[in-house]
Structure 1
């Protein structure tokens, strides 16, 4: 009886240690809900919208982690590809289901091309993929802004004057996406279908030969080389898949909102996706579908209630809104600290087992 109790306690302890980050966020969510006094209907409706808008972008992070490349912050480029394609379709005045399909195809083609370039760069910076991908995202943003601030109306001839600034050079900061929003309203299951489709694609990839290669590369790159695996090709494929998924994910986001903020609509998509994934219990080396779906619910529940909870605590709406940015960045720092601590403990335990 005593052994059974000790065994149960040991299992419970291991479960808490392994899932410390999501358990912490669950507790914070419950506290936030209590403090904000938010209704179940409001929370459910808001959470549903956020799950539909953000899940695919989180799914885009899984394949590079599987390949041992850490968090792919260059998913921002996928978001930029979708925004670029959207502006082109709106400029060409292609509406309805034709415009909807066309913008998806163009964004996927652009994301494939950009994914190849990013993959090549990251293969040249092995071991420093995360910081390199972050810089790539910033560089991509600068080039994108230059095209739409100065290129449109000078080098690129616009067809739709309504999206242009009064000077005739540069695209307006906000573009109405009512034709695309109408498609989502008419077929509200589209975001769910895309989430299921992308989930099944990732699950399929994990079970294929490519998935086995990516796991081998992520586990030990030197062993992968010795097994005859084309490491660079596998890593590049992981980034291409990630960038293409990110482009679709961002399209679902902006179509659901119904408007495109041309110059800032893509900002922080990488940070929020990363924070939500880590909140779900993922690490820089391991992440799965469970982490995505647990993370998107926990992180965005806290994201919804935190401003209201902050306002209730400090009686200041501005401070309440600040809580959102604080949560996003503190989630990443907190999760990384816990993950590094757990990895160190695991290494020490493994070394002790080998010595015995």
Structure 2
């Protein structure tokens, strides 16, 4: 019983720690409830889809897919084409999806094949791939777009006559959110009320992704991914082609990241052309780890809880830092430190657990080689 409690406490240590930090921050900052609920609602709608895109590669044993910026770049290219062609509103989002999807599939296949050649180092390799593709992405938008690829919207072009500007105000901003938007206002106290905008269609899209993940886990491909994630040797002996399954998991994740980035950007309303995808992987990875996931196991509740806790920290800590030190940047520095720290600690724990499991497997093999019992003195001397 004590061992089981210790195991659960260790597994949920990160979300418990974050809850304590946020509670202390709330006690210090005492922000208005209306502000906190409004901000966390916006951030949940904006970021949850991207975080959910990390689950399927984890099921397949690929760890956290730090290559989701490839999908984010695909979505951004789709939005840029839609903006350049003058297609606005939901139609512009549809065009962005139609353009971004094949690009994301192509990049996902490329990434999956590379990661198959880097078994055991998938996470750092996917991160390096994201940096590599960022260079190709910048080459396309800075030099090829407007010179080889014709441009129609002159307001997007740089002064030199080709290349996309650093920041673009999207004509597709809030295109999904505004399809069906409900405003709820309810009193909390005699002097305070909470005003929340609920983008129903965006929330339904996120809910559909959750249903898809639950359904996908029950399909043959989902079971194959789970088997490959548990043991590639045994799954291979069972007739599962692990390389193909691993590539498919990365392709699905990359395509979902493409859609997630489109949802994220239409909610913000502006596109940072060359930096918009930079934090996609880090913040999504930190969010799912904060929710209690690991690089070997993740679920929808981990993603949703982690997104809420991680972004509550965004809202609360700068205010708490301003009150404690007189400088809001102190809270921002602490938040950045925690963000990178969570990912670092998770990767260290993953490496430690893998070494521990390998050592336990070696000891088990040695016991089996010795007949399942303790070695005799003669055997010890011989060894």
> Higher helix proportion, which one?
1
Instruction: Please say if 1:245 is aligned against 2:256.
Output: yes
Instruction: Please say if 1:122 is aligned against 2:112.
Output: no
Instruction: Please say if 1:255 is aligned against 2:255.
Output: no
Instruction: Please say if 1:104 is aligned against 2:97.
Output: yes
Local SS of the residue matching 1:71 = coil
Instruction: Please say if 1:17 is aligned against 2:28.
Output: no
Instruction: Please say if 1:210 is aligned against 2:221.
Output: yes
Q: 5+ residue gaps in structure 2?
A: 181-198, 374-383
Instruction: Please say if 1:278 is aligned against 2:271.
Output: no
The aligned residue for residue 318 of structure 2 is: 307
Contact 1:32 1:309 in 2 (8 A): yes
Decide which of 184, 189, 199 is 2:210's aligned counterpart. 199
Decide which of 154, 159, 162 is 1:161's aligned counterpart. 154
Instruction: Go from structure 1 to structure 2 and tell me whether the alpha carbon gap of 1:91 and 1:136 turns closer, same or farther (over 3 Å shift).
Output: same
Q: How far apart in 2 are the matches of 1:155 and 1:190? A: 38
Matches within 5 A, 1:43-192: 43-187=36-180, 188-192=199-203
Instruction: Go from structure 1 to structure 2 and tell me whether the alpha carbon gap of 1:333 and 1:162 turns closer, same or farther (over 3 Å shift).
Output: same
Contact 2:144 2:162 in 1 (8 A): yes
Decide which of 263, 278, 289 is 1:267's aligned counterpart. 278
TM-score, length basis structure 2: 0.85
Task: Using the TM superposition, name which of 186-195 and 289-298 deviates more.
Answer: 186-195
Contact 1:85 1:106 in 2 (8 A): yes
Count of paired positions = 348
Instruction: Go from structure 1 to structure 2 and tell me whether the alpha carbon gap of 1:23 and 1:338 turns closer, same or farther (over 3 Å shift).
Output: farther
Where relative contact order (Cα < 8 A, 6+ residues apart) is larger, the structure is 1
Q: How far apart in 2 are the matches of 1:223 and 1:92? A: 51
Work out which of the two has the higher radius of gyration on C-alpha atoms and give 1 or 2. Answer: 2
TM-score, length basis structure 1: 0.91
Instruction: Go from structure 1 to structure 2 and tell me whether the alpha carbon gap of 1:214 and 1:182 turns closer, same or farther (over 3 Å shift).
Output: closer
Q: How far apart in 1 are the matches of 2:7 and 2:332? A: 36
CA RMSD of aligned residues (A): 2.2
Q: How far apart in 1 are the matches of 2:5 and 2:356? A: 17
Task: Using the TM superposition, name which of 236-245 and 298-307 deviates more.
Answer: 298-307
Instruction: Go from structure 1 to structure 2 and tell me whether the alpha carbon gap of 1:313 and 1:347 turns closer, same or farther (over 3 Å shift).
Output: farther
Q: 5+ residue gaps in structure 1?
A: 1-6
Q: How far apart in 1 are the matches of 2:255 and 2:17? A: 32
Instruction: Go from structure 1 to structure 2 and tell me whether the alpha carbon gap of 1:275 and 1:306 turns closer, same or farther (over 3 Å shift).
Output: same
Instruction: Go from structure 1 to structure 2 and tell me whether the alpha carbon gap of 1:181 and 1:173 turns closer, same or farther (over 3 Å shift).
Output: same
The Cα of 1:12 is off from its aligned counterpart by: 4.2
Contact 2:166 2:273 in 1 (8 A): yes
Decide which of 337, 361, 374 is 1:326's aligned counterpart. 337
